[in-house]
Amino acid sequence: MILAASAGNILVWIVWLAAGFACLASGIAVVSFSNPFYSALALIGNLGSLAVLYLLVSAEFVAAAQVLVYAGAVMVMFLFVIAYVGPRLEAPWAGGPPWQAVAAVLAAGSLLTEIIVAIGLKAGGSLSHDRSVPGSFGTPAWVGRLFLTDHLLAFEITSIVLLVAAVGGVILGGHVKRGGGEAPAQ
Amino acid sequence: MSGPGTAWYLALAAFLFGTGALGVLIRRNPLIVLLSLEIMLNGANLALIAFSRHVANGAGQIFALGVMAVAASEVCVGLGLVVALHRRRLALDVDTLSELRG
């Protein structure tokens, strides 16, 4: 029994390490590829490995939504637009004065340190013991019930946000009037 | 929870957020800036979901789904902007698009 439990534990660790490494590596790849097409493909890998991590913390519905909505719909839209615009190569560190790159690394590094320090100060003591959850935690039925009972307002406002974004996308991507030269598409 | 504890997930989330922030700061192509923004949002999502499991409360997962919807909206508007820039034959470079800077 104990042997089986520890074997399962080791398996979870192996899956976690593989997914976490893939997640970090593909994240760095997104930032450092010079071709935006490859960056988008690396982001698909990042989203897929994050979905594996979500499964490990029993968030099944969010993992499925991640793969369907993010890695599916959003990234296909990205790839379409990159193909439409044409991939322009751009060296990650090129352009601008060199102090800009140094300042960017310093800013991102200080942001990272700040997050780690804040989490460590606020939650460091209580992170070791977590609560047990029911078997239905994270299933689609459970998430659906939460959405339609406790978080109904958030659910409805999300639909309005999506509608407004769709209208904005149509207006921005609408046809530029011909003959008027630089007529703004308003 | 078997396997790694919540702290591991939070550390990974912080590193993802830092990577995305670095990308937003150093890259000049607006498409890659948008991709890096997605990484930042996903780092926040990972932290939300790890905390949701940690305190056994579903609000974190609901919030993560809301973040996903907001990310989809942001991509919709951002890509619309990129397409509009391309139509007007403006350079896709966030450093040259500084007309609205205060």
Query: What is the ipTM for the molecules in this complex?
Result: 0.90
What is the C-alpha to C-alpha distance for residues A117 and A111, in angstroms, rounded to an integer? 10
B6-87, what's its fold? Helix Hairpins (1.10.287)
A8 — contact with chain B (CB < 8 Å)? yes
By Cβ distance, the residue of B3, B52, B82 closest to A85 is: B82
Render pLDDT for A63-122 as a digit per residue (tens, 0 to 9): 999 999 888 889 999 999 999 988 777 777 776 778 888 898 999 999 999 998 988 888
Q: What is the pLDDT of residues A129-138, one digit of tens each?
A: 677 878 888 8
Is the Cβ pair A168, B11 closer than 8 Å?
A: no
DSSP class per residue in A73-123 = IIHHHHHHHHHHH-PPP--TT-SS-HHHHHHHHHHHHHHHHHHHHHHHHHH
Q: Cβ of A156 under 8 Å from any chain B Cβ?
A: no
Ramachandran class of A120: left when φ > 0, alpha when ψ lies in -120 to 50, beta otherwise: alpha
pLDDT of residue A43: 95
Chain B residue closest to A137 (CA)?
B58
CB contact under 8 A, B56 and A13: no
User: CB of A32 within 8 A of CB of A74?
Assistant: no
Q: Do the chains contact at B26 and A53, CB–CB below 8 Å?
A: no
Per-residue pLDDT tens digits for A136-179: 888 899 999 999 999 999 999 999 999 999 999 888 877 666 55
Assigned token pair, A123: 């939650």
Q: B97 in contact with A at a CB cutoff of 8 Å?
A: no
Contact B19 A8 (CB under 8 A): no
Q: Does A16 touch chain B (CB under 8 A)?
A: yes
Q: Where are the domains of chain A?
A: 1-91, 136-174
CA distance B86 to chain A (A): 7
pLDDT tens per residue, range A17-41: 999 999 999 999 999 998 999 999 9
Nearest Cα neighbor of A45 from A61, A31, A62, A24 is: A24
pTM of the predicted model as reported, rounded to 2 decimal places = 0.88
CATH no. of A1-91: 1.20.120.1200
- Suggest the residue from B2, B57, B96 to mutate for an interface test with chain A (most A CBs closer than 10 A): B2
CA dihedral A93, A98, A101, A102 (to 10 degrees): 140
- Partner A, chain B 18-77, Cβ-Cβ below 8 Å: 18-23, 25-29, 31-32, 34-36, 38-39, 42, 45-46, 49-50, 52-56, 58-59, 61-62, 64-66, 68-77
Q: CA B49: distance to chain centroid? A: 15
Task: Sketch the domain layout of chain B as residue ranges.
Answer: 6-87
Asked if the C-beta of B91 comes within 8 angstroms of chain A's C-beta atoms, the answer is no
